[in-house]
Chain A
Amino acid sequence: MNQLNLDHASAAVEFNKDEPRVDWHDETLWFVRTKRDRAAAQLPEWEQLREAASQIKNHVLSNMHDLLAQFEENAKQNGITVHWAENADEHNAIIHKLIQDAGVTRMVKSKSMLTEECHLNDYLTRHGIEVIDSDLGERIVQMRKEPPSHIVLPAIHLKKSDVGETFHEHLGTEKGATDPQYLTEAARQHLRDTFLTRKVALTGVNFAIAETGGFVVCTNEGNADMGAHLADVHIAAMGFEKIIPRAEHLGVFLRLLARSATGQPITTFSSHFHRPRPGQQMHIVIVDNGRSRQLGRPDFRNSLKCIRCAACLNTCPVYRRSGGHSYHSAIAGPIGSILAPNLDMKLNADLPFASTLCGSCSNVCPVKIDIHDQLYKWRQVLMKEGYGPGSKTAAMKAMATVLESPSLYRVAGKIGRGVLRFTPVLAENRFNPWYNQREMPEPPAESFRDWYINNKKV
């Protein structure tokens, strides 16, 4: 939890202090990535599907206004009340008001990364409303007062024993119990009671369909349905980029989403909501919160194609070895590192650097977002706008001066090699981060250039 106050590199140092846990985190997520590979390979048309999804989303980005207007009109006709929120505060206030209007102080929520982005739980708690997250992983981290560390697997940073401890403390399970079946059963009983007694339920939205004015929510536990079907008021919150033009496009996205996320052919529950049942209220809150700004940046607008499958997190070798909390942002991993600087450049200037730019994220992305290229571009924007540490800027200027002058470069090279050869202690010390866990390269007596001038022909 305290990792949230650190920059990515420092938080990663903390995370890496427990190496067996890092190995376990890495292997668990790699296992998911491998399942995704197998599922993808079973569809010969996989790459065409990705291309189709990408094209549909391109169309969405270029016609955002019209599609949203069309959605609003159709949703209203279906009897859904549509609300617009410019930012997180408005989103929270609208939801607060709806709960107040319903005359209750308790609500149940299905997993929604948007509400994490808007810090809805904190807001409602401060206003005296009890919120229970009903997704199992989300409920676990909620009890621990931690944010989710992964957008699909919110408690992936925790082991069975951690969950056992948490449930012992909050649900009164036996101390030391780690049997998943036993623990899940305890959670199920606790949530059943919640579902039965809450009059207001909130869900996210995976896809909103302009053509029909309805929306689709995907969960593996069916918890969104349980909450929404039993409540008098169903509130759905969505970032405006969740819109797709037509119902027939769902086939493309639903085939890609679960396979990319967990390697399943399809999510266990894809629930279609089109109108409130008699006597029920249905509200949809459509949120901007910086999305129009990102849509207006040609280099970064593609990030709004994201369907939140988390494939880029699972494949990211840095995410697997630094943990979700090190990204100090609702959405971790490569995609989060593109979205977060849009929300606050100063606070998130470190995130585009939490990558080796290996490019694996862009390759797994089912909607073909150029993730690693956008990370590279954010680096340029952030450093140019002065969000880099002064020492780094000075070092880079010095490096540029040396490397643009062949004679300076040769002198510096000679000195550098000399230092390493004759006084290695200067480099082999604890202030050199390279040397902390790695040996220095052995410097040769002459550079290739020196050799070439004398030998040329091999």
Chain B
Amino acid sequence: MRVGLFIPCYIDQFYPKVAIATLKLLQNVGCEVDYPLQQTCCGQPMANSGYEHLTGGCNENFVRNFSGYDYIVSPSGSCTLHIKHHLHAANESEASAIRSRIYELTEFLTDVVKVSSLKATFPYRVGLHQSCHGQRGLHLAQMSELVAPPFSKPAQLLNLVDGLDLVQLDRRDECCGFGGTFCVTEEAVSAKMGKDRVADHLRHGVNYITGVDVSCLMHLEGILKRANSAVQVKHIAEILTATV
């Protein structure tokens, strides 16, 4: 099984540790992982800002990098969703193959690899921030609005970690307010949403906030740090590979 690893631009630049943990996690579960060196970005920042018509170059580059893999895996629900819904290119058959073969990391682990055990230890109280694009877009977890039985792919994996205490939040899937360029164009609402999201976790005495989207976590981290909080954020890949 050849896996092409897609590391979104801001993870590559600001959170290499998340990418390293993702690579390690995929290798630990037996995947042959390759990181195509000429990759850049999924194009979502332009598209969500209303400039999908400028994403052509990005899309072509994505297809050049990720054609031919059995699976493409990424530690970001949001970027994965964007590719799944909006990737088009001159070579449309390749683009369509990529759209159907791209997976967010946790859904890849639960649905394709079917991981049932992990060698990881993380003896802390952890709050899971369910990011919207992964959750409602990729259906990584049941949504509070729908009348349907509950499940959560990220929580399923976190429950395999030794010592980890997963807390229940008051609003289990409220948006954190990151929203791509929304975080700066609507700064007031974005920051308020982030503060409220953090407060829910703090009320439940967490040591760490985790999630499947580094972008949301970066936003929550910025708010925690501004408040001089001792609570830290960690991407789920870092926790699923943690040894203490």
A residues with a Cβ closer than 8 A to B are 8-9, 12-13, 15-16, 19, 22, 26, 30, 37, 40-41, 43-44, 46-47, 315, 317-318, 321-322, 352-360, 362-364, 376, 379-380, 382-384, 388, 392-393, 396-397, 399-406, 409, 413, 416-417, 433-434, 436-444, 446-449, 451-453, 457-458
Residues of A within 8 A of B17 (CB): 444
Residues of B within 8 A of A22 (CB): 192
Beta-carbon contact of B20 and A358 below 8 Å:
no
Could you tell me the distance between the alpha carbons of A321 and B190 in the complex, rounded to whole angstroms?
9
The 0/1 profile, CB within 8 Å of A marked 1, for residues 6-35 of chain B is 010101111111011001100100000001
**Contact pick for B178, options A356, A380, A396, CB 8 Å:** A356
Could you tell me the distance between the alpha carbons of A51 and B96 in the complex, rounded to whole angstroms?
29
Beta-carbon contact of B16 and A388 below 8 Å:
no
Could you tell me the distance between the alpha carbons of A121 and B95 in the complex, rounded to whole angstroms?
54
Which A residue sits closest to B64, measured CB to CB?
Answer: A406
Rounded to whole Å, the gap between the CB of B26 and the closest CB of chain A is 9
**Contact pick for A409, options B40, B143, B144, CB 8 Å:** B40
Which A residue sits closest to B18, measured CB to CB?
Answer: A448
Could you tell me the distance between the alpha carbons of A327 and B148 in the complex, rounded to whole angstroms?
33
Which B residue sits closest to A315, measured CB to CB?
Answer: B145
Beta-carbon contact of A409 and B41 below 8 Å:
yes
Beta-carbon contact of A439 and B182 below 8 Å:
no
Rounded to whole Å, the gap between the CB of B210 and the closest CB of chain A is 16
| 19 extra interface residue pairs, beta carbon distance < 8 Å, beyond A358-B132, A437-B226 | A9-B189, A16-B189, A16-B192, A317-B193, A353-B182, A359-B136, A380-B51, A380-B53, A388-B50, A405-B40, A413-B9, A417-B14, A434-B222, A437-B187, A447-B12, A448-B16, A449-B12, A452-B35, A458-B20
Residues of B within 8 A of A401 (CB): 57
26 CB-based A-B contacts, threshold 8 Å = A41-B147, A321-B189, A353-B49, A353-B182, A357-B132, A357-B133, A380-B53, A397-B54, A400-B46, A400-B54, A400-B55, A404-B40, A406-B39, A406-B61, A409-B40, A409-B41, A434-B183, A434-B184, A437-B223, A438-B219, A439-B225, A443-B13, A448-B11, A448-B16, A449-B7, A449-B12
Beta-carbon contact of A396 and B54 below 8 Å:
yes
Residues of B within 8 A of A47 (CB): 146-148
Beta-carbon contact of A358 and B175 below 8 Å:
yes
Beta-carbon contact of B189 and A438 below 8 Å:
no
Beta-carbon contact of A403 and B221 below 8 Å:
no
Beta-carbon contact of A458 and B38 below 8 Å:
no
Beta-carbon contact of A447 and B50 below 8 Å:
no
Could you tell me the distance between the alpha carbons of A389 and B19 in the complex, rounded to whole angstroms?
35
Rounded to whole Å, the gap between the CB of A385 and the closest CB of chain B is 10
Residues of B within 8 A of A43 (CB): 147
Residues of B within 8 A of A40 (CB): 147
Rounded to whole Å, the gap between the CB of A431 and the closest CB of chain B is 11
Residues of B within 8 A of A437 (CB): 187, 191, 194-195, 223, 226
Residues of A within 8 A of B43 (CB): 403
Rounded to whole Å, the gap between the CB of B195 and the closest CB of chain A is 8
**Contact pick for B13, options A13, A355, A447, CB 8 Å:** A447
Which B residue sits closest to A378, measured CB to CB?
Answer: B50
5 nearest CB pairs, A to B: A404-B57, A438-B222, A356-B179, A383-B50, A379-B50
Supposing A358-B175, A404-B61, A441-B218 touch, asked if A13 and B191 sit within 8 A by C-beta, the answer is no
Could you tell me the distance between the alpha carbons of A12 and B192 in the complex, rounded to whole angstroms?
10
**Contact pick for A400, options B38, B58, B132, CB 8 Å:** B58
Which B residue sits closest to A13, measured CB to CB?
Answer: B188
**Contact pick for B16, options A30, A318, A444, CB 8 Å:** A444
With most chain B CB atoms within 10 A of its CB, the pick from A356, A392, A401, A402 is: A356
Supposing A384-B53, A404-B58, A458-B27 touch, asked if A359 and B46 sit within 8 A by C-beta, the answer is no
Which B residue sits closest to A311, measured CB to CB?
Answer: B145
Rounded to whole Å, the gap between the CB of A356 and the closest CB of chain B is 3
Which A residue sits closest to B135, measured CB to CB?
Answer: A359
Supposing A22-B192, A359-B136, A434-B184 touch, asked if A46 and B46 sit within 8 A by C-beta, the answer is no
Which A residue sits closest to B182, measured CB to CB?
Answer: A356
**Contact pick for A440, options B35, B58, B183, B222, CB 8 Å:** B222
Could you tell me the distance between the alpha carbons of A434 and B45 in the complex, rounded to whole angstroms?
16
With most chain A CB atoms within 10 A of its CB, the pick from B147, B180, B186, B195 is: B186
Could you tell me the distance between the alpha carbons of A44 and B48 in the complex, rounded to whole angstroms?
36
Beta-carbon contact of A448 and B192 below 8 Å:
no
Which A residue sits closest to B223, measured CB to CB?
Answer: A438
With most chain A CB atoms within 10 A of its CB, the pick from B38, B43, B47, B49 is: B49
Which A residue sits closest to B179, measured CB to CB?
Answer: A356
Beta-carbon contact of B20 and A451 below 8 Å:
yes
Residues of A within 8 A of B13 (CB): 413, 416-417, 443, 447
**Contact pick for B189, options A315, A318, A442, A443, CB 8 Å:** A318
